[in-house]
Amino acid sequence: MSIVRIAKLAGVSTATVSRVLNERDVVSDATVAKVRQAMKNIGYQPPPPGSRRGPKAHLHAQLQHRAIAFLWTASGKPAFPRNIDALPKETTETFSWPGGEEPAETLTGHSLLQGVAVSLRKHRISLTVDYLYHPGCLPSIIENQKVDGLVLHGPEPEEPLAAKLRQVPSVWLLSSGATAWGDRVQPNHRAAGRKSLEYFASKNCHNVCCITYRPTWQRIRYHTERANAFELHAQMRQVSCIVLGADTDEPADGQGLFDLAEVLVDQFLKLDPRPEGLFVANNLGYYVHEHLRRRGIEPMKDVLYICGDREVVYQHMEPEPAKIDIHSHEIGRLAVESLIVRLANPDVPRITLMVEPTLIIPSTRY
């Protein structure tokens, strides 16, 4: 079979034909259809990508076990004492180490895992999913070195657990996790802030407001990046911008989120002039929406309102606010592709892929 002949019949480049043969997602559906029709016209039936010679076969050759583990790391700092290994087992069981079950059960978590599973299925790689509850719960597939790579979500575990994970090629999802090791696939949070400001500017808003809170950890959190970008682009466009909550700690639970949102909404309503656009950079969106309605302010009518990420905003909020789609399914899929590249090229510099978010506006009347 001549790839040149197929390219000529389909009216595309040979590189495009190669991408279609290797099932790369960067080719449009219309182009894929043209290439497949050209192959059908000459009676060519391509073998599965995993069994074909070329770059994809080379990548698969790097996999010794054909197994990847998706690990949800602990969702907070452990309550264990430093010398936990010296304590009896029955004593250590009384301490808590929040596992990754809570983020795994969110819509974002499900979508991330689905993206990982889809990509691994395409490459015929097995998937193990587990949770890191405490330092002694590392899955046996990692303890016994029977895994090719890791996809990780959550904060970086403390030593010595992190030391064991660092021995395996890893890709972190979203914005948390290690800063000194592993590759990363995450949303472009600065783009989320920029696009939110641009939407308000397109609606001729002259005064806008951003709600956020202080990062829990010392390093920058996703909501800080969004708030900073929102404020910066407001300055560049000479739009008056007020940031609320930046000197407030992140609440520990749902009741704390509700109470903080009430305080910030009261501050918002006292602003003079009242901002025409309100952007929530963190996970307070639903609670802010509720407190606005309780005070007779209808979101998207009395104030243009961007409520936060689509997957953490309740789907039946009325009136429906604008939302941000971080494309978590695509993030999961790209994590696997990035991990395969890392396995084939272990010495390349650390890889960070940024996925562009989309602003979802509920209705054309807005």
Buried-exposed string 94-106: b where 16+ CB fall within 10 A, e elsewhere = eeebbbbeebbee
Residue type, position 37, single letter: Q
For residues 208 and 311, membership in a common domain is answered with yes
For residues 182 and 244, membership in a common domain is answered with no
Beta strands across the sheet bearing 358-360: 240-244, 207-211, 277-280, 304-309, 322-325, 358-360
For residues 236 and 286, membership in a common domain is answered with yes
Domain that holds residue 291: 189-325
How many domains is the chain built from? Answer: 2
Q: Are 132 and 52 in contact (CB under 8 A)?
A: no
Q: Are 279 and 211 in contact (CB under 8 A)?
A: yes
Phi, psi at residue 50, to the nearest 5°?
A: -65, -25
Give the C-alpha separation, 204 to 141, whole Å: 56
For residues 270 and 238, membership in a common domain is answered with yes
pLDDT at 216: 67
Give the C-alpha separation, 35 to 361, whole Å: 35
pLDDT at 179: 83
> Running DSSP on this structure, what letter comes out for residue 82?
T
For residues 87 and 170, membership in a common domain is answered with yes
pLDDT at 96: 39
pLDDT at 86: 41
For residues 345 and 246, membership in a common domain is answered with no
23 is a domain residue: no
For residues 162 and 258, membership in a common domain is answered with no
Q: Are 75 and 99 in contact (CB under 8 A)?
A: yes
For residues 317 and 206, membership in a common domain is answered with yes
For residues 91 and 128, membership in a common domain is answered with yes
Predicted model pTM: 0.76
For residues 242 and 348, membership in a common domain is answered with no
- Number of C-beta neighbours around residue 58 at 10 A: 10
Q: What parts of the chain have a pLDDT lower than 70?
A: 1-2, 23-27, 47-62, 75-101, 134-136, 216-220, 313-315, 364-366
31 is a domain residue: no
Residues 256, 311, 240, 301: what is their CA dihedral angle, to the nearest 10 degrees? -100
Nearest CA to 222 among 68, 44, 355? 355
Q: How far is CA 287 from CA 36, 99, 159, 351, in A?
A: 50, 25, 37, 36
Q: What is the pLDDT of residues 171-197, one digit of tens each?
A: 999 888 888 899 999 999 999 999 999
For residues 211 and 297, membership in a common domain is answered with yes
Domain at 84, CATH number: 3.40.50.2300
